[in-house]
């Protein structure tokens, strides 16, 4: 067995240049690394050289061993072969699934680089990826029930559903004074079409005119904000993560209008959880991931644009329902979706694997 708390942190997004601005899972992983270091773990992180400024901007990450490279494909594998000669880790942490990781998984297993593998699966895996993991003693930690079921159906025994918002205490309800205008909000990387900002705009336009004049629709946010041209609809320029908690406390209802497409789809939605923690009632697309979040109350599901307009009208006209749903959603989020790095390490990395 490898000695000490040393961990190899392998994230497929780190193996290519970063998106700008950083968002969602990328930010989560950077904070996760910081918290793993704070918990006493020594990390080795391979990353494309373009990530160096983001790593160096975060003081705690300077304690990690970052292996930067510019090449791809076989040259990366060659460098890894040399680097891993004699290296032993207590655990290999995979931050997501990905077929591009399969050659590295085989190389790491061949070199006996780690005692166990812990996968945080944000998406369903391909059959190839499922086969590549079988040789490893592993914990599979899925971000939703659908992904967990795939691994269980494939014969994996140690599978859990465990994910959430980092530093969830930043999100809490505000004492909302009575306002003349009800503020709806869509939160996410809205330059991406499947996030559904167009659905929310279309539904807003279908509200009865007298009601629409008493409402606002805030779209947060865009790298390149579009000109919407609809009274009451505000498109926000990109908001950094640290500004989101206070911004949400200025809102009354969250809309989650994402739609599943051929490849891209919501698999967790940090946005809905942030809204729930803030005590906002939710109106969400009738998708599996949103049904899972709202199964104990907290909001309403919609089927199409017309149905969304109806649910928005109900929310705008019923403050008691907004308060009741917001409280139920916050209770659900507090019980299920607050991330705790030390507990994650204790359950899946430090505890002995069952035989």
Tokens of 151: 């691994």
User: pTM of this prediction?
Assistant: 0.94
**CB distance 298 to 281 below 8 Å:** yes
Whole-angstrom Cα distance, residue 154 to residue 224?
Answer: 42
Q: For the domain 169-336, what is the CATH code?
A: 3.40.50.2000
Fold entry, domain 6-163+339-350: Rossmann fold (3.40.50)
For residue 308, the model assigns a pLDDT of: 98
Whole-angstrom Cα distance, residue 351 to residue 355?
Answer: 12
**DSSP per-residue string spanning 291-351:** HHHTBTBSEEEESSHHHHHHHHHHHHH-HHHHHHHHHHHHHHHHHH-B--HHHHIIIIIIS
What are the tens digits of pLDDT across the range 153-184? 999 999 999 999 999 999 999 987 677 899 99
Q: What are phi and psi of 81, to 5 degrees?
A: -60, -40
Percent of the chain with pLDDT over 90: 79
Under the banding of pLDDT at 50, 70 and 90, the label for residue 281 is very high
Please give the span between the terminal C-alpha atoms of the chain, in angstroms, as a whole number: 16
What are the tens digits of pLDDT across the range 20-78? 899 889 999 999 999 999 999 999 998 999 999 999 999 999 999 998 887 665 456 55
- Residue spans of the domains in the chain: they are 6-163+339-350, 169-336
Buried b (16+ CB within 10 A) or exposed e, 54-66: bbeeeeebeebeb
Round the average pLDDT of the chain to a whole number and report it. Answer: 92
Average pLDDT over residues 224-249: 96
Tokens of 248: 């949400």
Lowest mean pLDDT among 98-102, 240-244, 245-249: 98-102
Whole-angstrom Cα distance, residue 171 to residue 183?
Answer: 18
- Say yes or no: do domains 6-163+339-350 and 169-336 share a fold: yes
For residue 180, the model assigns a pLDDT of: 82
From 170, 137, 114, select the one nearest 1 (Cα to Cα). Answer: 114
């Amino acid at each position: 067995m490898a000695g000490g708390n040393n961990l190899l942190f392998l994230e497929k997004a780190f193996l290519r240049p970063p998106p700008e601005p950083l968002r969602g899972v990328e930010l989560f992983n950077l904070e996760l690394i910081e918290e793993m270091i704070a918990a006493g773990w020594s990390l080795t992180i391979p990353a494309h050289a373009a990530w160096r400024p983001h790593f160096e901007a975060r003081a705690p990450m300077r304690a990690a061993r970052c292996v930067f490279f510019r090449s791809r494909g076989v040259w990366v594998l060659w460098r890894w072969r040399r680097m891993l000669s004699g290296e032993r880790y207590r655990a290999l942490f995979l931050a997501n699934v990905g077929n591009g990781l399969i050659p590295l998984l085989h190389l790491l297993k061949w070199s006996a680089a780690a005692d166990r593998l812990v996968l945080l699966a944000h998406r369903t895996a391909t059959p190839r990826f499922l086969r590549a993991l079988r040789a490893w003693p592993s914990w599979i930690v899925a971000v939703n029930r659908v992904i967990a079921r795939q691994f269980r159906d494939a014969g994996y025994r140690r599978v859990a559903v465990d994910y959430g918002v980092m530093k969830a205490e930043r999100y809490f309800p505000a004492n909302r004074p009575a306002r003349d205008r009800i503020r709806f909000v869509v939160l996410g990387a809205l330059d991406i079409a499947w996030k559904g900002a167009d659905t929310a705009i279309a539904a807003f336009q279908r509200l009865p005119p007298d009601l629409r004049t008493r409402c606002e629709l805030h779209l947060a946010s865009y790298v390149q904000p579009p000109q919407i041209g609809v009274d009451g609809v505000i498109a926000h320029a990109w908001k950094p993560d640290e500004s989101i908690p206070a911004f949400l406390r200025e809102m009354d209802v969250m809309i989650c209008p994402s739609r599943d497409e051929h490849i891209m789809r919501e698999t967790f939605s940090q946005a809905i959880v942030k809204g729930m923690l803030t005590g906002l009632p939710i109106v969400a697309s009738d998708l599996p991931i949103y049904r899972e979040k709202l199964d104990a109350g907290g909001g309403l599901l919609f089927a199409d644009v017309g149905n969304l307009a109806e649910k928005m009208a109900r929310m705008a006209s019923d403050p008691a329902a907004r308060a009741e749903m917001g409280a139920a959603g916050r209770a659900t989020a507090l019980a299920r979706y607050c991330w705790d790095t030390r507990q994650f390490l204790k359950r899946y990395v430090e505890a002995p694997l069952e035989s």
